[in-house]
Amino acid sequence: MGVQYSLFFIQRFKGKVLFNVPMSDYTSFKIGGPADVMAFPQDNNDLKELLNFAESKRFKYYVLGGGSNVLVRDGGIRGIVVNMADGFGEITWVDDMRAVVGVGVRLGDLLKECLDRGLSGVEFVAGIPGTVGGAVIMNAGAYGFEMKSVVEGVEFVGRKGKKGFLSAAEMGFEYRKTDMPKGTVAVRVHMAFTKSDPQKITEMVDSYRRRRKATSLVAFPNAGSIFKNPEERIAGRLIDEAGLKGERCGDAEVSDVHANYIINRGTATAHDVLSLMATIRDKVYKHKGVLLEPEIKVVGEV
């Protein structure tokens, strides 16, 4: 397996390649065992070659953006982690309101570009870490807004390295969810914004930043909200009302700032986080009769 990997990467792949990589270095939680291989495709061709190679050798692959919404189990990831946060970093303006945005662009950089151009649509991402790719796949949102409102469509590379395009309707956007076919990697997102008064946009962004600072500024590594908000309810409030702030398992702890955040106090393992999540689900169900559904993606081997 090692020799096959090495030959391919030397001969056909332009991007950086790392072997036996601790996933804790690539997730905002700072948790996760080693990935066998992490490859950073630089363009469509690199990605196409990589997916072809993985499929021809029957190696599994997992797509990673900024790693701010994933929990990697302690056994790590077998196969290849396709890290999309290094290449695909360009924003190409099609006209004064529409752009094709690489999935590797950081949300903060997209917001800055929109602010500079007096464009409205993504003010709500202020303070959300991660890449445009991860945000679109998760249909990230805040304060009543979601990524889906600015997405016209997504260019992707899929199985056997085949290129394609999904319209926003075909993406199947739902609350923190899309229907991208399994094994499909988003590469570029077609986005449309609206013109607005730059001062109003700045005020909006500042108010979201202040709200975030007041409600969820957490000093330890975390992955944002752990559970989805059930219909008409707020997960953080349910967890708080079930008396779970400060609840601990190993070094994983329910934040006392935002009850839907689990923080890593230093040496938390994925096992600690998953045990704490199970406790939260049990207690919230017992006290409030609501079964919480995880928002974070849990991947890798036990």
- Tokens representing residue 114 in the block: 């929109």
Q: Which of residues 107-146 bind ligand FAD (CB under 6 A)?
A: 128-131, 133-135, 137-138, 140-142
In the bound state, the residue with its beta carbon closest to ligand FAD is 134
Is position 295 annotated as part of the catalytic site? yes
- 64 vs 99, beta carbon nearer ligand FAD: 64
- 17 vs 64, beta carbon nearer ligand FAD: 64
Query: Minimum CB separation from ligand FAD for residue 3, in Å?
Result: 28
- Tokens representing residue 12 in the block: 């056909």
Phi, then psi, of 160 in degrees rounded to 5: 55, 25
Q: How, if at all, do strands 297-299 and 70-72 pair?
A: parallel
Cα torsion 281, 283, 288, 293 to 10°: value is 0
* CB under 8 A, 24+ apart: contacts of 163-169: 163/44, 163/48
The site map against ligand FAD for 40-69 (x = CB under 6 A) is -----------------------xxxxxxx
Is position 265 annotated as part of the catalytic site? no
The site map against ligand FAD for 23-42 (x = CB under 6 A) is -----x--------------
- 128 vs 242, beta carbon nearer ligand FAD: 128
Residue 193 near residue 173, CB atoms below 8 Å: no
Please tell me which residue in 73, 106, 176, 188 is annotated as part of the active site. 176
* CB under 8 A, 24+ apart: contacts of 250-253: 250/275, 252/276, 253/220
Is position 24 annotated as part of the catalytic site? no
- 3-state SS record for 114-164: HHHCCEECCHHHCCCCCEHHHHHHCCCEECCEEHHHHEEEEEEECHHHCEE
84 lies in the site for ligand FAD, by CB under 6 A = yes
Please tell me which residue in 49, 123, 253, 295 is annotated as part of the active site. 295
Query: What is residue 301's DSSP assignment?
Result: B
List 77, 223, 235, 270, residue binding ligand FAD (CB under 6 A) = 223
Say how far apart CA 39 and CA 28 lie, in whole Å. 19
- Tokens representing residue 77 in the block: 């990831």
Please tell me which residue in 24, 120, 216, 225 is annotated as part of the active site. 225
The site map against ligand FAD for 240-279 (x = CB under 6 A) is ----------------------------------------
Query: Minimum CB separation from ligand FAD for residue 77, in Å?
Result: 11
What residues make contact with ligand FAD under the rule CB under 6 A?
28, 63-70, 84, 103, 128-131, 133-135, 137-138, 140-142, 180, 185-186, 222-224, 297
Report the catalytic residues.
176, 225, 295
